[in-house]
A and B are shown apart, each in its own frame.
Chain A
Amino acid sequence: MDFFSLAFRNLQRHRIRSLLTVMAIAVGIFMLYSFWTFNKGYQAGLRRELGNMGAHMLAIAKGCPYEATAMILHGGTITDYLTQDDLVRIRQMPGVARAVGMFMNQKPLGHGKVTVIYGVDEEVFDIKPWWVVRGERRLTGDSVILPEDMAEALNVALGEVVTIPGIDREFRVVGLLERTGSQDDQFVYMPLVTAQQIFDAEGKLTSIAIQVEDLARLQDVVRQVESLPDVQAVTMTQVLGTVETLMTQAQAMVTTIVVVAVFISAIGVLNTVLMSVFERTKEIGMMKAIGGSAADVFAIVWIESIMLSLAGGALGVTGAIVGGRLLEGAARTRLPFVPAGSLIGLDWRIAAASVALSILLGIVAGAFPAYRASVLSPMEAIRSE
């Protein structure tokens, strides 16, 4: 028999009450861990996505920066275009290593779903050298390169003809893009000219991906690009900043909810342990009478509180790791942009920090009940009604 087993047995007296308190802590820690890992995963995913763009900056027609960001990240409809002349001029600018014209637009499929068309030339492989394509890389006429998952979903193999959803035309699948784990797995790649024709935008470009020779001179190139009429340059850092700004408000609200949930669960622990102290006043008096010191009584009650919160913390983290996929799925349906790949997963550092926080909650929440118990006069405690 030691203080830990005594504290554990005390908690077993009111199993349902102890369990409910553990559950309350678990919910708070579940939310904390999920939010924490999601946030971290989101930031990392966003950076990964932008890295996968392969360009240091994009030139687009002047307009809303949020629209531009949305288009860059997951495609979209854009009404203002660049021209082939803009592409030629940018290619001639000093400091520009490579400039690739792109045409991106989408066809609605109903129920909020769309087919995103990506009109590209072979040059796209210069800015995305990590792409692995089975079959042809060269796109001509009515040919497409499909991401493997999409081809599987459309039940089409390399070399076969497919009707692309949203476009009533048949295309031959000349290449299959191996999974990249990024947004690139969502697009249908076809010749630039074909894409322009489909959307009645011959000679128009939605964006020009630019790689610079020297990143230290990125701002020089930005200034040159923006000197072109009706053209704005968006660097990947700006895109990142824009998305993070959009996310900040949502994060602030979620953080508040998480903090409130954790605080409420701490109040729950305090309430449970304090109630238990009141119920055991006579027993505490007896423990002091038979030799228990104030420090001993304090330790026993404190351990009870820490055990409750530790169990809640462990349960919450386990629940978040196991059920994180569900939460991530829910977030994907509600947020305007979520990077591809797993966002909520096992992160030992966050798990350890969450459990440590739950222990801290137990320490803080248990301090007052433990103090109340420790200062009880043994005589008055025994005589209490």
Chain B
Amino acid sequence: MKPLILCEKMSKYYRRGSEVVRALHEVDLRVDEGEFLAVIGPSGSGKTTLLNLIGCLDTPSSGSYIFDGKQTAGLTERALGHIRRRGIGFVFQQFFLLPTLTVRENVELPLMFGRARDRSRVEEVLDMVGIGHRKRHLPRELSGGEMQRVAIARALVNNPRLLLADEPTGNLDSANADMVMALFRQLNERGITLIMVTHNMELARQATRTITIRDGKISEV
């Protein structure tokens, strides 16, 4: 299998006052195309840092990170933005839907940023996540589960090869959490690579592979 993600001795350090915090330390990770990886670990272990690095929201302090065969170290914010727009979809715990835009318009945002003229993909992904019938509604008119489905549709609209989800069920009840997980499995079966950060072992078991982060180091479960 071809690796979509390849991290070698990747570290991330933060400076907090005079103290240097080692969020990730010399991490090695390979994720092949089509995998569904769950990342678990206690709070402050470095899960979100890992996700931010993989999602090109941040760059490593040292080591290397190759996404889809391209070295990301030293890339400008513009180039990282291009990778994010083309190849990566994000799902956040807090949904981050714009309250004055309809469901359809929220999903359309990435296409607007990509200057895409053909916006027909919006309808497709809305139907894919089962929210097409609510496309003219505003976020405040939706349930938490529906809002997360809209956020997933927004993440999928650019046809990304990688979907990153940071605690995607953190704000949902168990029924909606199950529905989101079923959707993730379905997307994974369609060939989308998924990396999901969670602290819920039950949900992590639904992934094809699970890793644990503790004190900035990775171990396979």
Contact = CB atoms under 8 A, between A and B. Distances in A.
Contacts of B58: 377, 379
Contact of B100 (A12, A286, A379, A383): A12
Nearest to A289: B90
B85 A9 contact: no
B57 A378 contact: yes
B167 interface: no
B108 A1 contact: yes
Contact of B105 (A1, A282, A294): A1
Contacts of B105: 1
B112 A289 contact: no
A290 B99 contact: no
B101 A1 contact: yes
A204 interface: no
Q: Which 9 A-B pairs have the closest CB atoms?
A: A291-B85, A286-B96, A9-B100, A379-B57, A291-B113, A292-B113, A290-B110, A379-B52, A1-B108
A217 B114 CA distance: 75
B110 A291 contact: yes
17 contacts: A6-B112, A9-B98, A10-B98, A13-B100, A283-B98, A289-B55, A289-B57, A290-B89, A290-B109, A290-B110, A291-B110, A291-B113, A291-B114, A293-B78, A296-B113, A377-B58, A378-B57
B157 to A, nearest CB: 9
Contacts of A13: 99-100
A294 B76 CA distance: 12
Contacts of B101: 1, 6, 9
Interface residues of A, number: 25
Interface string A159-200: 000000000000000000000000000000000000000000
Given A288-B84, A289-B55, A294-B81, 18 more contacts: A1-B101, A1-B108, A1-B109, A6-B109, A9-B98, A10-B100, A13-B99, A283-B96, A290-B113, A290-B154, A290-B158, A291-B81, A291-B85, A292-B109, A293-B78, A293-B81, A379-B52, A382-B96
Interface string B66-110: 000000000001100100110001101010101111000100111
A287 interface: yes
Contacts of B7: none
B155 interface: yes
A289 B57 CA distance: 7
Interface in A136-165: none
A3 interface: yes
B100 A290 contact: no
A288 B58 CA distance: 12
A85 interface: no
A214 interface: no
What is the predominant secondary structure among interface residues of chain A facing chain B? helix
A342 to B, nearest CB: 44
A282 B109 contact: no
A377 to B, nearest CB: 8
A133 B211 CA distance: 104
Contacts of B112: 1-3, 6
A282 to B, nearest CB: 6
A291 B158 contact: yes
A224 to B, nearest CB: 78
Interface in A266-301: 282-283, 286-294, 296
Interface in B110-148: 110, 112-114
Given A1-B101, A6-B112, A379-B58, A290 B78 contact: no
A292 B99 CA distance: 18
A289 B154 CA distance: 11
Nearest to B109: A290
B45 to A, nearest CB: 15
Nearest to A13: B100
A377 B134 CA distance: 32
Nearest to A383: B48
A290 B77 contact: no
A373 to B, nearest CB: 14
A287 B109 contact: yes
Contacts of A379: 52, 57-58
B92 A382 contact: yes
Contacts of B94: 282
Interface in A1-38: 1-3, 6, 9-10, 12-13
A339 B162 CA distance: 75
A259 B162 CA distance: 54
Nearest to B59: A379
B99 A294 contact: no
Contacts of A282: 94, 96
Contacts of B109: 1, 6, 287, 290, 292
A9 B99 CA distance: 9
A291 B77 contact: no
Nearest to A3: B112
Interface in A285-324: 286-294, 296
A144 B15 CA distance: 95
A288 B108 contact: no
A99 B92 CA distance: 91
Nearest to B155: A290
A12 B102 CA distance: 14
Contacts of B85: 290-291
